[in-house]
Amino acid sequence: MMTILGVPTQALFGQLLLGLINGSFYALLSLGLAIIFGLLNIINFAHGAQYMMGAFVAWMLLNYAGLGYWWALILAPLAVGLFGVVLERLLIARLYKLDHLYGLLLTFGLALIIQGLFRQQYGVSGLPYAIPPELSGGQRLPFMFLPNYRGWIVAFSLVICIVTWLVIEKTKLGAYLRAATENPTLVQAFGVNVPLLLTLTYGFGVALAALAGVLAAPVYSVNPNMGADIIIVVFAVVVIGGMGSILGSILTGFALGLVEGLTKVFYPEASATAIFVIMVVVLLVKPAGLFGKPA
């Protein structure tokens, strides 16, 4: 068996792949957070809960409606995104004139409610969700075994991230979004319906989180706490990357997932804290974040 630095290649690449998968989730989630923060100036603490909701909606579609993974991949983000639109219209929209911290507190409260309701209904032990038959099995590569579904997560997230980036950078809608991020008042004066743009942006960011949730459902068990665990790491990712750049948050997400995977191989005890340690180092060396503009 081949080894690199005393670690069997099979284990090394396996962990790297797992890291890349986590990185995909970090990228999708931090991308959504960054888009929402850019326009709404709100840190969406409910992002983790909405990611969890995506996984649960997929599970419900399968168990209550008999709709499989591919339907869930479309319907769950739509449903949770719609839920986000309702939240924004009813609650979040009332806070735009207030200090940012109220947005954080409100969405934190929402996260508690959502997680509590799911915990009350489904317990904390986690529900299984099978890998779709089209993606079961795997490829035997020269250096490792690649399960098809894991490859799919990484490829699909990458495509979604790139498409999102292209939409924001290259389309007219994206141009409105960027303009409104810079100066909402002026954009409104040009006749763009900024409140609608805010609502749609929030819905879209939430839908991205739900999409990550659907992708995660077959890998991790569907669990009411799955969002709370990941969201704090995603916050650290966002601090490291800085929310100023869309591409930056995507890159940081994937890179940090890889680093976390590497830590699991070489120093497993630190894998849970690796990203936080990196955050500390980045704060010391480049306080504005890797892609952030200095304040």
Chain residues in the site for other proteins (CB under 8 A)? 37-38, 41, 43, 91, 94-95, 97-102, 104-106, 108-117, 119-120, 181-183, 228, 232-233, 235-236, 238-239, 243-244, 269, 272-273, 276-277, 279-280, 283-284, 287-288, 295
Please say whether the beta carbons of 30 and 240 come within 8 A: no
| Nearer Cβ to other proteins (77/253) | 253
Q: How many CB atoms lie within 10 A of CB 112?
A: 14
Cβ 25 to other proteins shortest distance, Å? 17
- The Cα-based distances of 169 to 199, 243, 244, 246 in angstroms read 20, 15, 14, 9
Cβ 282 to other proteins shortest distance, Å? 10
Distance CA 258, CA 147 (A): 17
Distance CA 133, CA 152 (A): 13
Instruction: Name the residue with tokens 């986690």.
Output: 126
Q: How many CB atoms lie within 10 A of CB 179?
A: 16
Distance CA 2, CA 143 (A): 8
Cβ 61 to other proteins shortest distance, Å? 24
**Residue 229 identity:** D
| Nearer Cβ to other proteins (109/137) | 109
Distance CA 132, CA 25 (A): 19
- What the block records as the tokens of 174 is 């994206």
| Nearer Cβ to other proteins (112/219) | 112
| Nearer Cβ to other proteins (137/287) | 287
- What the block records as the tokens of 199 is 């609502």
| Nearer Cβ to other proteins (113/163) | 113
Return the half-sphere exposure (C-beta side, CA atoms, 13 A cut-off) of residue 183.
5
Cβ 4 to other proteins shortest distance, Å? 27
- What the block records as the tokens of 204 is 């879209």
Cβ 210 to other proteins shortest distance, Å? 19
Taking the CA atoms of 116, 121, 123 and 125 in sequence, report the sign of the dihedral they define.
negative
Cβ 54 to other proteins shortest distance, Å? 19
Question: Could you tell me which of 69, 52, 51 has the C-alpha nearest to residue 61?
Answer: 69
Cβ 46 to other proteins shortest distance, Å? 10
| Nearer Cβ to other proteins (6/121) | 121
| Nearer Cβ to other proteins (113/130) | 113
